[in-house]
Amino acid sequence: MSYESFETVKVAVDGPIAVVTISREKALNALSSVVIAELTNIVGELELSNDVLAVILTGAGEKSFVAGADIAEMVDMTPVQARAFAEMGGALGNAIESSDKPWIAAVNGYAFGGGCELALACDFIYASDQASFGQPEVKLGVIPGFGGTQRLARRVGVAKCKELCMTGDTIKAPEALRIGLVDAVWPHIELQGRVRELATRIAANGPLAVAEVKRLVHQGQSASLEHALALEQRSFGLLFGTADQREGMTAFLAKPRRAAQFKGQ
Catalytic residue among 137, 190, 226, 247: 137
For the chain, how big is the Rg over CA atoms in Å?
19
Q: Which of 80, 71, 69, 114 is nearest to 96 (CA)?
A: 114
* Per-residue pLDDT tens over the stretch 74-93: 999 999 999 999 999 999 99
Categorize the per-residue pLDDT at 5 as very low, low, confident or very high, splitting at 50, 70 and 90: confident
How much is the mean pLDDT over the chain?
96
Q: What is the pLDDT of residue 2?
A: 61
If DSSP codes are grouped into helix, strand and coil, which group holds residue 14?
Answer: strand
Distance CA 36, CA 24 (A): 12
Share of the chain above pLDDT 70, in %: 99
pLDDT at 143 over 60: yes
The second-level CATH assignment, the architecture, of 207-253 is Orthogonal Bundle (1.10)
pLDDT at 104 over 70: yes
Mean pLDDT in residue range 57-69: 96
Dihedral (CA of 242, 247, 250, 251) sign: negative
Domain boundaries, the chain: 9-203, 207-253
pLDDT at 121 over 60: yes
CATH topology of domain 9-203: 2-enoyl-CoA Hydratase; Chain A, domain 1 (3.90.226)
Evaluate whether 262 touches 206 at the Cβ level (below 8 Å). Answer: yes
Q: Is 4 among the residues known to form the active site?
A: no
Catalytic residue among 47, 73, 117, 247: 117
Q: What is the pLDDT of residue 211?
A: 97
* Per-residue pLDDT tens over the stretch 177-224: 999 999 999 999 999 999 999 999 999 999 999 999 999 999 998 899
pLDDT at 1 over 60: no
Q: What angle do CA 188, 163, 77 make, to 5 degrees?
A: 85
pLDDT at 171 over 60: yes
Distance CA 133, CA 67 (A): 9
Whole-structure pTM value: 0.95
Distance CA 246, CA 243 (A): 5
Q: Is 232 among the residues known to form the active site?
A: no
